[in-house]
Every structure is written in structure tokens, then in C-alpha cells.
């Protein structure tokens, strides 16, 4: 049973796996319920397309539970959200993934379009394409579920800004979102403005993405997807907004420049994320979300893991006592799961953080122990030594000032470019030039 089908059954039946296995007695009401359930299953039955069919993840954003005192917490009502996303590879056709994973009730979606983004909230006239789901322009997504659109016959280019507009005809309740977009997105006044090419109705800017979690493309020139799993550093915190200057974006540019078979790049970073422990502010732990955000990405063949600095910093600040052995055990779990799927997984060393708000001398000892294990254990399929690239030669416990956004934890645009440049393309794509 495909993963969409499982989500639909659980959402529609209201039972867990044990309850779902009990014999069902059908009366008239039961027959109606079964008919509705069958339609729902049909709508959600598509599992994510496989790389064997040329489908790869051109863009992604890890879903998060609504944060307090945000637009996500308030939700929307008869409004259109316009998310601006940046492709890594191009292709034709495309599919969009919408998510209600953290919704408490079914999400009604009235109209979805995709277009080439223009300035601000505008889109380029003549590029707007409607998106359907099971042949319909509207869809209801059960709480806790995601849905993949029908293929849209439109060619998107690599390294292109697209605008995905989602009309929400009723009260949504708290929204599933991605907090740190490093990108201005837009919320409209009342009404369906998904097909508007001008920006007039989109009066509320927001630096978060809502409901859209992936762009999947059929790309003959891509051999697969590399997933960047990480925290705020992978999410691009500290980079210039609207510049697509996160290190996964810079890696996508390097891969695109190869001019031959390449990889798409899926950015699955979440600000504040940890390997071991999830939090409302900062997403499910890497261990908990690894299947959804990495292993199940269409076309995935490689995973890059840059996580652990928040486990160290937060544990020191809270007195929780998370040590190197625990973080390493978390890595080993991710490695085992990736290898069980036949994927390669690469470990990235943790960047220096002296001067950051949660730095401690004990935390530094843990960071160095973790980095030594990443470099020397041979457990990962390869190592990306971000620590060596990003540290200050004169003060190696600190970020190089040329790469520091100012908080001594997150890189600036130049730092993110240096990180992308440090990744061996030969390691990701053996035989690449």
C-alpha cells in the first residue's frame, strides 16, 4: 500500500493500524462510508513518483507545526497564499505536493496555480497554469495527510523562481507551514486570487511558506535527488532574503553548471532542528522526520546530514547533558536507515560556534568529539569537512569573520557559497567533471 493510501485510510477511518484490521460489518451507512473512503483512497493512492520514471524533487520545504503568535497559528479564511519557490532542476511535466500534516482538521483547497514569479507578489502574465487533483480543481486534504497533484504540462527552467498560489475558501485552523523561508511570500485580501497576475490583492508579506512542501519534476537530465537534511544553517538563516543564497541553492548552481546529467537538490533544513529531540518551535527531530523528509523524496539517491550543533547548544543551555555518544548513535540510526534503502549518506562536520549565544566550553568538547567521529569512523559514505572550510584560521573555534553573518553561528552569503564549493561533486556524481 502506497504511503498516500495509508495516510488517507488512517485519516478517513479515525482508527490506528490495530483498529483498521478488525472485520467490518456493512449496513447502508457503512456502504456510504466505504464509498467515500474508496474515493478518498483513489485520490491519495499515488505514492511519490520514483526516479526510475524520471521524477526528482526540484524544491522542498520541511513541514512544521504552527508556531505561536504567527500567521500560521491564526490560519486563513477565504484568502489566497502565494509561495515563491526556487527550482534546482527544470523539467516537464511537474507535480506539486501540498501538506496538511500538522493540521487538526481537514483542509479545503479551492484553487491552485503555478506561474513564473515576477517582482514582489506579481507573476509573469501568460505563465499561469491551473493545478488539479484527481481531475478536480479543488480538493480536501485530511488532517495529518499530504497530497500530490496531477501532472501539470508545463516546462519549468532550472534555477527559476515560481509562484505557487493556494486559495483557501474556508477557515483553515492552524496552518502547516515552514517557518524560515528566507523569502518574501504573500497573503491576499479576501477571495480567490490564485489566477491574478498582478500583486494588488497580495498585501501581507510573510517570511514563511504555507501548505506547499515539494515541487516534483520529470527531468530527463537529472539522475536523482540529493537531500540536504539539517538545521537553520541548511535552512539558510543569515543569508540575504529573496536571493536564494542558501548553501543547497549554491550547490544546485554548481550541479547545473556541469552541463550534463545532474542531481536535483531538496533542502530539508529546519531552524533549531536537532538530531535527537523535536520541539514545537523547531520541527520533529532528524531521527523522527528522516523517512518523510529524506528517504521518501522522489529520486533520492544521496543524503547530506548537517545536524547536531543544536543538540549540543540547547542541551548545554538547558542542562540536559546530551553528549557526543548520543549524537553519534543518532547518526548511526540515520546511516542504517539510508543504507537499508540503498542510498548513500554523507556526514558534514559541525561548524565552529564560539561566540554564539549558547556556546560553552563543554559544548565545544562535544562538537570536537562529534567531528572527530565523522572524519575518522568511516560510517558515512563520505565526509564534507565544513568545519575546516568555515573556521577562522587565527581562531579555529570561531567562524571565519569573512563568512560570519554576525551571530557567530550562521554563515553569510559568502559563507554559504564556501560551504557549497567545499562539496565534492565527484562524491555525489562519480565521473562528473
Which pLDDT tens digit goes with each residue over 101-150?
Answer: 999 999 999 999 999 999 999 999 999 999 999 999 999 999 999 999 99
Candidate ranges 18-22, 47-51, 376-380; pick with highest mean pLDDT: 376-380
Domain span at 24: 3-44
Q: Please name every residue paired with 226 in a beta bridge, in sequence order, or none if there are none.
A: 265, 302
pLDDT score of 432: 67
pLDDT(295) > 60: yes
> Is 241 within a domain?
yes
Q: Is residue 79, in this structure, part of any structural domain at all?
A: yes
Confidence grade of residue 422 (pLDDT, cut at 50, 70, 90): very high
Residues 83-100 have pLDDT tens digits of 999 999 999 999 999 999
- Is the domain of 140 the same as that of 287? no
Residue ending a domain, choose from 214, 249, 273: 214
Q: For residues 116 and 201, state if they share a domain.
A: yes
| Residue 409: band (very low, low, confident or very high) from pLDDT cuts 50, 70, 90 | very high
Average pLDDT, the chain: 89
CA distance 201 to 35: 39
Between CA 279 and CA 146 the distance in angstroms is: 21
Would you report the helix, strand and coil content of the chain in percent, each value rounded to 5? 30, 30, 40
Domain-located, residue 49: no
Residue 229 and residue 208 share a domain: no
Query: How do residues 52-66 score in pLDDT, each as one tens digit?
Result: 578 999 999 999 999
Per-residue pLDDT, averaged over 172-199, amounts to 98
Same domain, 259 and 205: no
On whether both 384 and 238 belong to a single domain, the answer is: yes
CB-based contact 297:335 (threshold 8 Å): no
- Determine the pLDDT at residue 241: 97
Residues 428, 383: contact at Cβ < 8 Å? Answer: no
Among 184, 214, 244, identify where a domain stops. 214
Q: In this structure, is residue 334 part of a structural domain?
A: yes
Whether residue 359 contacts residue 321, with contact meaning beta carbons closer than 8 Å, is answered with no
Confidence band for 261, pLDDT divided at 50, 70 and 90: confident
Pair (249, 379) in one structural domain: yes
pLDDT digits over 220-252, tens only? 889 999 999 999 999 999 999 999 999 999 999
> Residue 49's pLDDT band (boundaries 50, 70, 90)?
low
Alpha carbon 363 to chain centroid distance? 28
pLDDT for residue 24 is more than 60: no
Would residue 171 count as lying in a domain? Answer: yes
Q: What is the mean pLDDT of residues 246-275?
A: 96
pLDDT higher than 50, residue 33? no
Same domain, 67 and 33: no
For residue 194, the 8-state DSSP code is T
The yes-or-no verdict on residue 266 having pLDDT over 60 is yes
- The answer on 22 and 70 residing in a single domain is no
> In the prediction, which pLDDT does 222 show?
94
Say whether both 16 and 154 belong to one domain.
no
Classify residue 433: in a domain, yes or no.
no
CATH code of the domain in which 325 resides: 3.40.50.1110
Q: Among residues 156, 187, 214, which one ends one of the domains?
A: 214
| CA separation for the pair 84, 189 (Å, rounded) | 18
Residue 143 lies in a domain: yes
Q: Confirm whether 57 is domain-assigned.
A: no
Give the total number of structural domains in the chain: 3
Confidence of residue 2 (pLDDT cuts 50, 70, 90): very low
- 425: pLDDT strictly greater than 70: yes
Could you read off the pLDDT of 321-362 as tens digits, one per residue?
Answer: 799 999 999 999 999 999 999 999 999 999 999 999 999 999
Please check whether residues 190 and 243 belong to one and the same domain: no
Cell 532542476: give the residue.
89
**For residues 260-270, average pLDDT:** 95
Task: Write out the H or E segment, with its range, that includes residue 428.
Answer: helix 425-428
For residue range 300-328, list pLDDT tens digits in order: 999 999 999 999 999 876 767 799 999 99
Are 318 and 253 found together in one domain?
yes
Predicted pLDDT at 38: 32
Domain co-membership, 237 together with 199: no
Amino acid at each position: 500500500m502506497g504511503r498516500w493510501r495509508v495516510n488517507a485510510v488512517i485519516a478517513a477511518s479515525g482508527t490506528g493500524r490495530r483498529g483498521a484490521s478488525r472485520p467490518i460489518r456493512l449496513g447502508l451507512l457503512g456502504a456510504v462510508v466505504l464509498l467515500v473512503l474508496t474515493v478518498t483512497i483513489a485520490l491519495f493512492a499515488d505514492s511519490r513518483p520514483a526516479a526510475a520514471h524520471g521524477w526528482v524533487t526540484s524544491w522542498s520545504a520541511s513541514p512544521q507545526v504552527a508556531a505561536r503568535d504567527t500567521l500560521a497559528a491564526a490560519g486563513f479564511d477565504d484568502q489566497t497564499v502565494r509561495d515563491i519557490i526556487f527550482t534546482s532542476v527544470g523539467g516537464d511535466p511537474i507535480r506539486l505536493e501540498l501538506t496538511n500534516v500538522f493540521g487538526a482538521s481537514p483542509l479545503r483547497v479551492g484553487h491552485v496555480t503555478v506561474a513564473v514569479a515576477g517582482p514582489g507578489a506579481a507573476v509573469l502574465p501568460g505563465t499561469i497554469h491551473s493545478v488539479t487533483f484527481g481531475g478536480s480543481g479543488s480538493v480536501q486534504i485530511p488532517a495529518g495527510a499530504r497530497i500530490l497533484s496531477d501532472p501539470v504540462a508545463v516546462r519549468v527552467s532550472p534555477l527559476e523562481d515560481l509562484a505557487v498560489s493556494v486559495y483557501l475558501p474556508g477557515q483553515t485552523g492552524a496552518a502547516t507551514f515552514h517557518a524560515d523561508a528566507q523569502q518574501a511570500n504573500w497573503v491576499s485580501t479576501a477571495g480567490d486570487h490564485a489566477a491574478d497576475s498582478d500583486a494588488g490583492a497580495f498585501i501581507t508579506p510573510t517570511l514563511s511558506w504555507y501548505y506547499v512542501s515539494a515541487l516534483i519534476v520529470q527531468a530527463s537530465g537529472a539522475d536523482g535527488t540529493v537531500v540536504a537534511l539539517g538545521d537553520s544553517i541548511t535552512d539558510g538563516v543569515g543569508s540575504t532574503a529573496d536571493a536564494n543564497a542558501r548553501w543547497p541553492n549554491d550547490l544546485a548552481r554548481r550541479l547545473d553548471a556541469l552541463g550534463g546529467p545532474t542531481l536535483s537538490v531538496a533542502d530539508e533544513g529546519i531552524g533549531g532542528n536537532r538530531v535527537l529531540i523535536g520541539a514545537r518551535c523547531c520541527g520533529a527531530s532528524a531521527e523522527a522526520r528522516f523517512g518523510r523528509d529524506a528517504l521518501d523524496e522522489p529520486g533520492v539517491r544521496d543524503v547530506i546530514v548537517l545536524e547536531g550543533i543544536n543538540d549540543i547548544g540547547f542541551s548545554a543551555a538547558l542542562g540536559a547533558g546530551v553528549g557526543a555518544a548520543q549524537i553519534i548513535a543518532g547518526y548511526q540510526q540515520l546511516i542504517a536507515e539510508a543504507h537499508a534503502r540503498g542510498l548513500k549518506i554523507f556526514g558534514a562536520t559541525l561548524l565552529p560556534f564560539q561566540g554564539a549565544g549558547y556556546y560553552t566550553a563543554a559544548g565545544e568538547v562535544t562538537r570536537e568529539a562529534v567531528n572527530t567521529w565523522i572524519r575518522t569512523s568511516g560510517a558515512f559514505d563520505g565526509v564534507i569537512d565544513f568545519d575546516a572550510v568555515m573556521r577562522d584560521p587565527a581562531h579555529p573555534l570561531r567562524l571565519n569573520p569573512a563568512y560570519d553573518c554576525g551571530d557567530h553561528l550562521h554563515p553569510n552569503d559568502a559563507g554559504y557559497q564556501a560551504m557549497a564549493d567545499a562539496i565534492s561533486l565527484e562524491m555525489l556524481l562519480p565521473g562528473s567533471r
